[in-house]
Amino acid sequence: MKSIIGISAAAALSFSAAHATSIYTTSGSSDLVTNTGSSQIYEDDGVTMTLSAGLFTDTPVTGDAVVTPGQYGARPIAYSYGTGIRHNDNDGQHTIDGYYPEVAILSFDTNVQLTGALFSYVDTYDTFDLFVDTNNDGILERIYENLGMPNSSIAFVDLLSLNLVGKLFGIGASEYAYNCRQTMWGQKCDKYSPSWKLKAIKFEEVPDVPLPAALPLFMAGLAGFCFASRKKKV
Ligand SMILES: [Ca+2]
Ligand SMILES: [Ca+2]
């Protein structure tokens, strides 16, 4: 018991060290504002995050993934360890698992960069898939699959280098049996079964207008200012 407390304390410490907002998706979370049953609404540092759930197809070899929010009544359930997903069509476990591939859908009210995820209920060789709405049409695209996490019951994964920017994201678990891909070594299958809970999400607010788009506006403003000041001299 003592070692478990030691591990979780160390994970919490490293998780809060960086300057970013952390929302804990546990049943006792102080960030939780409303739980409607089909979604949980969290708020921290002025940012609102809505957590809902869906299932997704996980097509062998091609890697195609289509997310259906709320399919078979898919819904997030916040437990003391973190949030899992349940649904009504032969759900494998109360975790986020790949028996029917499940995905936690994270919707923010402002542009953010996901910088980290804290997983709980983790066992050996657990993996996760990452989805981002890359073209802002409200539909999630899977951009990474079978990302690894530390072999620790509570595992933090730093997402900073993946540059995940947007308002709509998904963190899910791949299909148990059909997770096979063509690789340069031939067809490889992930024989492990991903199953875990989402304990916290770390993110930073980023400007809605990207810098390259803002630059011409700034230049136009500068040109206008020069023109105005020159006119004054005359
Ligand atoms: Ca489940
Ligand atoms: Ca999209």
Cα 72 to middle of ligand 2, angstroms: 22
Please report which helix (H) or strand (E) contains residue 71, including its range: none
Confidence of residue 191 (pLDDT cuts 50, 70, 90): low
Q: Are strands 47-58 and 83-86 parallel, antiparallel or unpaired?
A: unpaired
- How many other C-beta atoms are found inside a 10 Å radius of the C-beta of residue 26? 21
Where in the chain are the domains? 2-207
Please give the structure tokens belonging to residue 217.
């506006």
Phi, psi of 7, deg, nearest 5: -65, -45
The band of 90, judged by pLDDT with boundaries at 50, 70 and 90, is confident
CA of 142 to the centre of ligand 2 (A): 9
Q: Of the segments 87-96, 182-191, 201-210, which one has the largest average pLDDT value?
A: 87-96
Both tokens of residue 9? 């304390």
Q: Which single residue is written with the structure tokens 């096979």?
A: 180
CA 92–ligand 1 middle distance (angstroms)? 5
Contact of 108 with 63, CB cutoff 8 Å: no
Could you say which ligand is closest to the alpha carbon of residue 104? Answer: 1
Of the pLDDT bands very low, low, confident and very high (cuts 50, 70, 90), residue 96 is very high
Q: Is the pTM of this model over 0.85?
A: no
Distance 181 CA to ligand 2 centre (A): 23
State whether residue 27 is helix, strand or coil.
Answer: coil
Distance 100 CA to ligand 1 centre (A): 8
Average pLDDT over residues 6-30: 68
- The per-residue pLDDT for range 160-170, each reduced to its tens digit, is 999 999 999 99
Q: Which listed ligand is nearest to 169 at the C-alpha?
A: 2
Give residue 171 CA to ligand 2 midpoint distance, Å: 15
Q: What are phi and psi of 148, to 5 degrees?
A: -85, 165
